[in-house]
Chains A and B, each alone.
Chain A
């Protein structure tokens, strides 16, 4: 099950904790992967670790032209593009009353607008192939909200509505579009929390621990597989039970 041999996948934010784990997992199931991100060194290190079937495609997702070129470059490097994982994201947390337009725009641009552009860019090839998988990495806070993250929560909720709309348009062409909404996962992004914040968080998680990037990657493998062909427009919450929606 979940064999991805012969499939090609583009993963954004592959230099991050969750993106890297997703790339490793898809590669482990046999897929050829294109690793995208802004930091070349960690991408190259991951590609070296994976060995064959790994390509490095650096891209600044706030640059519209670069984003438009990325799916084409990925398809050229791998000979096709079957699976798109929009994982890249950033935070610019601030209290709502203090949030600047720049903080708002930066988060919406990278998290939501680049996801839109990449989805649009891969559709032609997927529709022609009558097979495609788009997996957008949303977040639990897109559903629950989070103080100090008005911009981030809006971008992640926007991703869910966008994915559902696209899913309905392309379902008849064998292309599925789903979201994964991670809860609190051990990554650089959550390492920034202080101990008191972490303690409070753990109290709200029935599983009693933070999740791992590999646990998100497993969900991505499932949604990217042939076995998930009948699953579309869904949001898979992977959060240790902290929100049951």
Chain B
């Protein structure tokens, strides 16, 4: 797993209080990891801080799964 993926996973595990092995490529934050809509906003805020990037609202909406997040951050940073 890439460095980015490791860091994203750590944030997700901490923020959503889920087991690390639940955070798989296609795991949906809302459907599989128990996030509510506010959690997804907070996750995006946390990603922005961790990676020093800006995630615009329209891009944030496309980040539904762990894999989406890693892919977006890989492309942005």
Contacts and interface: CB of A to CB of B under 8 A. Distances in A.
A172 B38 CA distance: 9
Interface string A78-115: 00000000000000000000000000000000000000
A169 B45 CA distance: 16
Task: Tell me whether chain B's interface is mostly helix, strand or loop, or mixed.
Answer: helix
A75 to B, nearest CB: 15
Contacts, number: 11
Query: DSSP class of A's interface residues: helix, strand, loop or mixed?
Result: helix
B56 to A, nearest CB: 15
Nearest to A169: B38
A173 B42 CA distance: 11
Contacts of B38: 127, 169-170, 172-173
Interface string A127-169: 1100000000000000000000000000000000000000001
A172 B35 CA distance: 13
Interface in B35-66: 36, 38, 42, 45
Interface in A27-41: none
11 contacts: A124-B45, A127-B38, A127-B42, A127-B45, A128-B42, A128-B45, A169-B38, A170-B38, A172-B36, A172-B38, A173-B38
